[in-house]
Amino acid sequence: MKEEILRHLTEDIIPFWENLLDKEYGGFYGRTDYDLCVDKKALKGGILNSRITWFFSNAYTLLKDESLLAYAKAGYEFLRDRFIDKEEGGVFWNVSFDGKPFDTMKHTYNHSFAVYALSSYYEASGDEEALKLAKRLFSLTEAKCKDENGYLEAFNRDFTPTVNVALSENGVIAERTMNTLLHVIEAYTELYRVSKDEDVKEAISGALDILTDKIYNKKLHRQEVFFDKDYNSLIDVHSYGHDIETSWLIDRTLEVIGDERYRKLIFPITDDLAKNVYKTAFTGECVLCESVNKEVNTTKVWWIQAESVLGFLHEYEKHPNSKKYLKAAEDIWNFIKEHVIDRRSGEWINEMNKDNVPDERKALEDPWKCPYHNGRMCFEVLRSKVI
């Protein structure tokens, strides 16, 4: 499995994304459709650019190929020069193909991935400017994107609140979401790991308290997804992908911060999330999308398969006698090889129906489709000590 994944990373995923570097205007092109047509004038999303920067930074840190650091630097410089708002602070939601501000919304989720990317780029490059920028974004997010009860999400350019359309779906508009909180924790964990800044650790602790007290539903063995300002759940959703992602990602946070109190409190929660996804959403070959109002969506989504490999592999690491989790990780990897990896390009197909037929309307690259989940799966499997 490690040999296959290393070959897939180096021969498929990395070359695909290297070819999307925009050598004329900077950053990376913003969209590649299912037919492999690159739209060189598509908007460039902040999340996409941050995630690509994170990807090449980690690829370099793992593989030590200097060419990878050059791609990471290209992403970092475009983020620094084009996405950072020099007047109001924060990160633009997207910019034009030539780097001009387009949607100037500020979003906590977008800020989180910028912090994530900058922290990883600092680790890869040693560039102190990147770390300083990550810390400034952290401080700004804490000052502008929170109230007394936690993180709010969507803001105008000047940080006045606006409607959270970007992170809402299923017919609801949420003021707080599980997804944003999860990635705040993820980003701050990376920043704390490279900086050991106690203010960052304190913010992580506060976010973990929200996860355990407001997000995790002990009765239903899952996380709630969409909330109003008072953390009332707005719709009955079980997001299988986010729950299995949380099951290993939050344990990584516990490892990094080294707080035994949280370890004892949260390990049973992450076990519960993984166990329930295995029970309710694992088909024997892959993990399904979600359940909404008790109706299961059988769509097979690329990123959910990547996170499920990691979630089940991690669960096996925690419980070595539960070999069913190792088998599940291996089975999902076999499904990915057979159905998800696009044989034309090496990148992953975005979505498939229950019969494994690709949805050709879904792009291979867009503001959300990037080398973050599948790239991270490769990195984490290659670093694993249990296989």
Tell me the three state secondary structure of residue 281: coil
Per the CB < 8 A criterion, the answer to whether 115 and 141 are in contact is yes
What does the pLDDT look like over 29-63, one tens digit per residue? 999 999 999 999 999 999 999 999 999 999 999 99
pLDDT, tens digit, 9 for 90 and up, residues 373-386: 999 999 999 999 98
Per-residue pLDDT, averaged over 59-72, amounts to 98
pLDDT at residue number 249: 98
Structure tokens at 116: 């994530």
Identify whether the C-beta of residue 270 lies closer than 8 Å to the C-beta of residue 247: yes
Tell me which H or E stretch contains 25: none
Tell me, what's the pLDDT at 137? 98
Instruction: Tell me the C-alpha distance between 8 and 33, whole Å.
Output: 21
33 Cβ partners below 8 Å, 6+ apart? Answer: 39, 363, 364
Q: Has residue 336 got a pLDDT over 90?
A: yes
CB distance 314 to 266 below 8 Å? no
Report the pLDDT averaged over residues 196-205: 98
- Cβ contact 126:149 at 8 Å: no
- In tens, the pLDDT along 207-236 reads 999 999 999 999 999 999 999 999 999 999
Beta carbons within 8 Å of 99's beta carbon, 6+ residues apart: 25, 26, 27, 44, 78, 81, 82
Domains recognised in the chain with CATH numbers: 2-383 (1.50.10.10)
Of the pLDDT bands very low, low, confident and very high (cuts 50, 70, 90), residue 75 is very high
Contact 67, 124 (CB under 8 A): no
What is the pLDDT at residue 387? 86
pLDDT (average), residues 263-268: 97
In this predicted structure, the answer to whether residue 76 has a pLDDT above a threshold of 90 is yes
pTM for the model: 0.98
The pLDDT of 86-98, averaged and rounded, is 98
Residue 365 pLDDT greater than 90, yes or no:
yes
Q: Are 39 and 357 in contact (CB under 8 A)?
A: no
Mean pLDDT of 309-318: 98
- Partners of 94 in the beta sheet? 45, 103
**Does position 119 have pLDDT exceeding 90, yes or no?**
yes
Chain mean pLDDT for the chain: 98
What is the structure's pLDDT at 72?
Answer: 98
Torsions phi, psi of 303, nearest 5?
A: -70, -30
